[in-house]
Structure 1
Amino acid sequence: MATEAEVGELLHRRGWRTAFTLADRVDAWAELVSSVERGYPDDIDEFTNDLYCRTWIHQAWILLDEDLVQLWTPRIEALDLRYRAVTVYDDGLALEQFHRVPGPDLWWWRRHPRVLAGDLGRALRAAGAVGTDPDDGRPPD
């Protein structure tokens, strides 16, 4: 297994734009989760771009030293639970209208925010997503 720096470099060589650190990507995942909890403010392109932080974590996980995995697992699992709580599973059908959804083991690509706010909400609603309107908090008719 590899160190965090080695994994960052390896994934960078495999096509990631930089040699990210695990802390950087976990912080980005935490920021995305918090943003979805508040009502994601950006558009569909930003949302799909933001989802890649979790994809990086997934790819890094199998390469990392076991001690790092054990150290970070509680925080990542807690963030994953929070993300699942504020999103709706639709097998990626809404996102697929805008971006190729990766394989089934990347579950975060198969969910969309429960509260469909702003540009992202409008785009997902147009693609058939069902969620709540941030203005009234009630499910759509």
Structure 2
Amino acid sequence: MNGSELTAEDYAAVLGAMQSLSATYGARTLNEALSQWRLTVIDLEEGFDTEWIWEYHNELVCRDWLHAAWPLLTPRVREVRQAELDEWDRRFVAATLPRRKADGLPAGMDGRWWHDRYPRRITGERGHDLPPGWSPAPVHADDD
């Protein structure tokens, strides 16, 4: 077996993760979730549009799916895809800031550390109210 071949057991685990998580996260594949995480991180690197500021945590659902799916995958699938996930997680951390823990705001649940971070850069109209805990305020892309 060469370094990239997956077995029927590997593919069955990916399908099983997709099926077991579809009720909670909607139907998505491992490839789709990793691709959506990549696109989310790229958007954050460019600046998160303040028009969608209150939808920010919804953008992180693809990472929630990956978090829930990872233990359901075979060690081989995790090994093959871990470097990709690590790279996008690293870039996410670089594109975000740690959220100030404000009263009444839950911390990232179940090890979901990405919910405890907010965009470093924003775009769009100025003057939008920012969510509690986004302090210091993100830099507006026009101010770079």
Match 2:130 to one of 120, 124, 127: 124
Aligned residues: 131
Q: Unaligned stretches of 5+ in structure 1? A: none
Match 1:106 to one of 101, 112, 123: 112
User: What is the CA distance between 1:116 and its match in structure 2?
Assistant: 2.8
2:74 aligns with 65
More off after superposition, 42-51 vs 25-34? 42-51
Matched AA of 2:37: W
Q: Which has the higher strand share?
A: 2
TM-score w.r.t. the length of structure 1 is 0.79
Name which one, 1 or 2, has greater alpha-carbon Rg.
2
Q: Deviations over 1:63-111 (max 9, x none)?
A: 1111110011000000000010110012564xx4xxx654161110000
State the secondary structure of the residue aligned to 2:43. Answer: helix
Name the Cα RMSD after superposition.
2.7
Matched AA of 2:44: V
1:88 aligns with 97
CA distance in 2, matches of 1:120, 1:108: 25
Following TM superposition, the consecutive aligned residue runs of length 4 or more in structure 1 with deviations greater than 6 angstroms are: none
State the secondary structure of the residue aligned to 2:140. Answer: coil
TM-score w.r.t. the length of structure 2 is 0.78
Matched, 1:6 2:16: yes
Q: Is the 8 A contact 2:96 2:117 kept in 1?
A: yes
Q: Is the 8 A contact 2:99 2:134 kept in 1?
A: no
Matched AA of 2:18: G
* Distance of aligned partners of 1:120 and 1:51 in 2 relative to their CA distance in 1, 3 Å threshold: farther
Task: Point out which structure has higher relative CO (alpha carbons under 8 A, 6+ apart).
Answer: 2
* Distance of aligned partners of 1:86 and 1:12 in 2 relative to their CA distance in 1, 3 Å threshold: same
Q: Deviations over 1:14-43 (max 9, x none)?
A: x2222x111100000000000000112251
